[in-house]
Amino acid sequence: MRVTFFIFLLLILFLPSFAQDFNHYQPLANSGDIPIEYISEAALIGYDDLTPATNSDTYAEQKSKLDFIRFSDFYIRYLLRSGDLMFGDPLTAYVNRVADILLKDFPELREKFRFYVARYPEVNAACLPNGIVIVNIGLIAQLENEAQLGFALAHEIVHYVRKHGVDAFIEANRIKRNSSDLRSYSKDERIFAMLQYQKDQEFEADELGFLDYYLNSGYKLSEAESMSDVLLYSDFPIDEVRFANENIEDEWFVLPQKYWKDTVDVITAIEDFDDSKMTHPNIKKRRENIQGLLKSYPNKGAEFIQPKEDFVNLRDIARFELCNLLLVQQQYVDVIYLVNVLEQKYPGSEYLQKSKAKAWYGLAKLVHEKQTRKAIRSANKLKGESQRLFFMMKSLSNNELTIVACRELWKVHQSLPTDTIVFEMTEQAFSFLLSNAKYRNTYFTFVIPESDTTVEKIPIDSAVELSKYDKIKQTQNKVENIELFQMAFLQFAQQDDFLKFFTRVRSEATSPVSGDTKYTSSRMRKHEIFKDPDFTSPERILVLDPLYFRVSSSRKAGDRFLSTLKYEQLFIEAVDKQANTNGIKCTVLDAGCFNEADADKYND
């Protein structure tokens, strides 16, 4: 035992450092050899992963197991080749070290597991029926300590050990078949019976995960119960930080006060919600179940077994990665709030500045395509400080939102003047704005308005710093009857580069050629692409991640998945053959065609 502990201690002491320079953050990439299961054509799940067959198995149960293998193999293969699971990255390495701690007394069992971090923003983890455990980036971003991650993994380990996946599948099929013991049940009663079976599995995963793997791991026992809070508040942002007016406003540009909520709704969450139509028990039941286990043991253990700094650093990495995941899902307002939170700790981060620029550009683009509902949820359904930001966004008209987006993009461009992507986004957003006839000519003012001598002014004492409210009143006295949004760019009026930029983009936006086609929507632009003579005879083509899916009403559902894999390969071969016939070089970028050394291609 001493030798084992000494080796383990050395492992911890000599772990590589994964510290990031968050001011110049580089997104995570896969490294090293591609895991063989990502590219293997062999079956990814077999009978060894299922509950052992017995003489008492009925024909229907045997068929269910065979169908389960076919279903699972297809979906696991699809997931592994999706690019969503990472390998050779610091987050996955950290999760595996926590798994090593939990399974240090079960070396043979440890060999059956593979742990990966997934590029998903949801607060969740899952165990696949072949021993692959997936931990979402969204979960790591919300955790408070290493021990909580330990309990989440212990829970998933039990799902594999107890074969919960296949058992639930067989039970669901039994209920659907209306077995003899269920014939008196109504349809709703059969559904509830199936859901209750899955809830019982969740209770078992909590209990056995705690007793078999977490209890003697060295982690603080009470953190198993605190995971309930992580799940309870998982729909809320990573922290509560007020989004200040000054993030948007300046001395000259002030939004109407009605656009800002003075107070936000206090965050509350219901633990004892109705779970009758859910696969998981509600948080209150799970919390009480774990509290019952904790009563039998002293609250021993530590929140961190590995260095706390490693956890904090890796959690920050997960939070930075979350920015990009939310951008992909077009949750642009969520990104702006997340950046606001992260900038409290990393105010000079170029990555956060770029993420913010992409979010504002995304909003301007959605306005241009009349699809802002995708990104701006109703503030009435939100609580906490993020509600204030969503309320303000919802209060803005489409034109006003575009104006604010242009302001924010120019500010990021000022911070990162050599970044060409930021500049191009800024240029396009201004083109969206200035293509509107209302804003083309003299709408915006670039001259500081003269004060109205009939209005009482606030005395300015250079030795006394004005409050925010004094500045607002002083600005309101100066602007007289000028619309607030007319002065949106007055802050930049003394910048020659801005005035030249604004004049040029306005001129291009009003041009019959540039204004109508340069920044047209993708819906319109797609018809123009195929008229371009450059596309009539390409020398090479790229086939990206082809997917063939067979849809059939046949009862032999499992056979459908086997056919899908077969015909996908035939499809790839047919495309390649036709390309060669036409003298076109064809490159197929498909994970199934890679070998272990192709990590760079996989990243692409």
Contact 445, 490 (CB under 8 A): yes
Tens-digit pLDDT profile for residues 104-163: 999 999 999 999 999 999 999 999 999 999 999 999 999 999 999 999 999 999 999 999
| DSSP helix, strand, coil percent of the chain (3-state; round to 5) | 55, 5, 40
Residue 87 pLDDT > 70, yes or no? yes
Take residue 337 and report the two structure tokens written for it. 């709030």
What is the reported pLDDT for 74? 81
DSSP class of residue 222 equals: T
CA 497 to centroid of chain Cα atoms: 37
Q: Is 461 strand, coil or helix?
A: coil
DSSP class of residue 546 equals: -
Q: Three-class SS string for 96-141?
A: HHHHHHHCCCCHHHHCCCEEEEECCCCCCEEECCCCEEEEEHHHHH
What is the pTM (predicted TM-score) of this model? 0.84
121, exposed or middle or buried, with CB in 10 Å at 0-12, 13-18, 19+?
Answer: buried
Residue with tokens 């977490």: 214
Cβ neighbors of 412 (< 8 A, separation 6 or more) are: 353, 354, 356, 357, 360, 422, 426
Residue 427 pLDDT > 60, yes or no? yes
- From CA 35, how far away is CA 476, in angstroms rounded? 63
Residue 386 pLDDT > 70, yes or no? yes
Tens-digit pLDDT profile for residues 170-198: 888 887 776 555 555 666 776 778 788 88
What is the reported pLDDT for 149? 98
540 φ/ψ angles, rounded to the nearest 5 degrees = -150, 155
> Which stretch of 23-37, 172-186, 198-212, 534-548 has the lowest confidence by average pLDDT?
172-186
Q: Return the exposure string of 323-357: e unless at least 16 CB atoms fall within 10 Å of the residue's CB, then b.
A: bbbbbeebbbbbbbbbbbbbbeebeebbbbbbbbb
Residue 457 pLDDT > 50, yes or no? no
